A = this chain, B = another copy of it.
Amino acid sequence: MKNQLLCDIGNTTFSFNDGRKAFVDDFDISSIKEDVYYISVNQYWEKRLSMQENWINLRSFVNCKKYYKSMGIDRIMACEAVDSAIVIDAGSAITVDLVKDSVHEGGYIYPGLVALAKCYKEISPALEVSFNFDIDLAKMPKNTEDALTYGAIAPLLSNIREISTELPVYLTGGDAERLLSFLPTATISHDLVFKGMKKLLEEH
Q: Are A140 and B70 also in contact (CB < 8 A) when A115-B123, A118-B122, A124-B93 are?
A: no
A150 to B151, CA, bound (A): 16
| 8 Å CB contact of A109 from B142, B147, B162 | B147
**Residues of A in contact with B, size category:** 35 or more
Q: How far is the CA of A127 from the CA of B163 in the complex (A)?
A: 23
Contact check, B140 vs A105: say whether CB atoms are below 8 A apart: yes
- Contact (Cβ within 8 A) B140 A108: yes
Taking CB atoms, residues of chain B closer than 8 Å to A73 are none
Asked if A98 CB lies within 8 Å of chain B CBs, one says: yes
A155 CB contacts on chain B under 8 angstroms:
110, 155-156, 158-159
Per the 8 Å Cβ criterion, residues 139-177 of A in contact with B are 139-144, 146-148, 150-151, 154-156, 158-159, 161-163
Hey, what's the 0/1 contact readout for A109-148 against B, CB within 8 Å counting as 1?
Answer: 1111001101110111011000000000001111110111
Known: A96-B151, A108-B141, A115-B119. 11 other contacts (CB 8 A): A69-B143, A107-B141, A108-B146, A108-B147, A108-B150, A109-B127, A109-B144, A115-B122, A118-B122, A155-B155, A158-B158
A→B interface (CB under 8 Å)? 68-71, 92-93, 95-96, 98, 105-112, 115-116, 118-120, 122-124, 126-127, 139-144, 146-148, 150-151, 154-156, 158-159, 161-163
* Interface pairs (22), CB distance under 8 Å: A70-B144, A92-B124, A93-B124, A96-B151, A106-B139, A106-B140, A106-B147, A107-B140, A107-B147, A108-B140, A108-B150, A108-B151, A108-B154, A109-B144, A109-B148, A111-B123, A111-B151, A115-B119, A140-B163, A155-B156, A155-B159, A158-B158
